[in-house]
Amino acid sequence: MTINIPATVGMSVEDIDTPCLLVELDAFERNVAKLAKFIKDNGLRHRAHAKTHKSSDIAIYQIEKGGACGVCCQKVSEAEALVSAGIRDVLVSNEVVSPKKIERLAALATRARVIVCVDDLDNVDDLSAGAQKYGATIECLVEIDVGAGRCGVTPGEPAVKIAKKIHAAPGLRFSGLQAYQGKAQHAYDYAERKALIKAAIEETANTIQLLKAEGLDCDIVAGAGTGTFEMEGTSGVYNELQCGSYIFMDADYQRVKDGNGKFISEFENSLFIYTSVMSKTKADKAICDAGLKAQSVDSGMPVIYGRTDVEYIKCSDEHGVINDPHNVLRLNEKLKLVPSHCDPTVNVYDWYVAVRNGRVEALWPVTARGMTL
């Protein structure tokens, strides 16, 4: 709806309506370039994770300027939105098991390269039937659980069994392994993260060997997120990374330090919740207009960017409470919040306001906002 658009192109940042999502383009572009260099230097592919941004503008930028070979997403409806925007190489890095979603996935595979994850033998039959119905080929990665305890079969023989069934199934193609260690990404301690990924790499390498013994090659060995990509990327085992948050960063990812105690790869904050003080009746507090409906607080409160004198301490549906011990904030004053968790925060917005040098350069729709199906 037009009535909820927070800015117009060319406008000064000060004039943007709040709360809204800001992307600082210079920082965003430096983040994209930094990962592109790592990928190139290490002879890898990067399948950029669109679950973070849900934006066709950003996905196309990552492919055209950031060296990405294609995108990942987590939902069939996200894949549909991205294919409709012209992207022709999409991995749904998740299982697709319901009859309706399998139909949609198969239909989509007639319009683009479509890859999906599989962790169930019966699901192979269903995907095969869907693909045949649409005359499509669906590429499949067997997802192995390398420690996250979520989706995925046990590495080794259980994975091989599914791979063989995929290989034999009409309409499907066995393309490799999905081996994402989700639990490791936000392990703040470097040594702990390293140990978790070491185990994941070993289990993945072992499964690749077992598959090879059955004559099954893995074109794709996929995984890795922003917290650990340097580990998988230099393993000699993984060949396709799936980083998402690196473009934006968030308060939680900034608690994840590298081996030198620095932010991972020195990625910069480029995503902010822009908010205004909308009530100032107390000397030591200010109320801002970004509450629970302007973010996800699953990973804690947002951090006020560039300020140590004020602190965002709690929130309710439409309000954030800011400690203002020196009584410096004024009504209508604007602040930039670093979201605690970027992915689910982006998901509540319709627009990114992309800014550079204090001006609005572009408005990007959150193309797949709310695409849960």
Name every residue whose Cβ is closer than 8 Å to that of residue 2 and which is 6 or more positions away in sequence: none
Name every residue whose Cβ is closer than 8 Å to that of residue 251 and which is 6 or more positions away in sequence: 299, 300, 302, 303, 338, 339, 340, 341
Nearer to its own copies, 64 or 122 (CB): 122
The whole-angstrom separation of Cα 118 and Cα 98 is 13
| Residue from 34, 36, 42, 120 in contact with its own copies (CB under 8 A) | 120
Residue 14 is inside which H or E element, if any? Answer: none
CB of 262 to its own copies, least distance (A): 26
Contact indicator for 329, 341 with CB cutoff of 8 Å: no
| Residue from 39, 72, 90, 95 in contact with its own copies (CB under 8 A) | 95
Nearer to its own copies, 96 or 243 (CB): 96
User: What is the CB neighbour count within 10 angstroms for residue 135?
Assistant: 10
Q: Check residue 74 for interaction with its own copies (CB under 8 A).
A: yes
As beta bridge partners, residue 311 has 323
Burial tier of 340 (Cβ tally within 10 Å: 0-12, 13-18, 19+) = buried
191 phi, psi to nearest 5 deg: -65, -40
Strands, E, within the chain: which ranges?
20-24, 45-49, 68-73, 89-95, 113-118, 138-143, 172-178, 220-223, 240-241, 271-282, 285-288, 303-304, 311-315, 320-323, 334-338, 351-356, 359-365
Contact positions with its own copies (CB under 8 A) in 167-206 = 182
CB of 296 to its own copies, least distance (A): 6
Q: Check residue 47 for interaction with its own copies (CB under 8 A).
A: no
Q: Check residue 127 for interaction with its own copies (CB under 8 A).
A: no
Using the contact rule CB under 8 A, the part of the chain among 94-102, 194-202, 204-212, 222-230 near its own copies is 94-102
| Residue from 30, 34, 42, 77 in contact with its own copies (CB under 8 A) | 77
Triad 123, 126, 129: Cα angle to 5°:
150
CB of 151 to its own copies, least distance (A): 4
Nearer to its own copies, 235 or 245 (CB): 245
Contact positions with its own copies (CB under 8 A) in 273-332 = 276, 278-282, 285, 287, 289-290, 292-294, 296-298, 316-319, 321, 331-332
The residues binding its own copies (CB under 8 A) are 1, 3-4, 6, 17-20, 51, 74-75, 77, 80-81, 94-98, 100-101, 104, 119-120, 122-123, 145, 149-154, 182, 276, 278-282, 285, 287, 289-290, 292-294, 296-298, 316-319, 321, 331-332, 341, 343-344, 347-350, 369-373
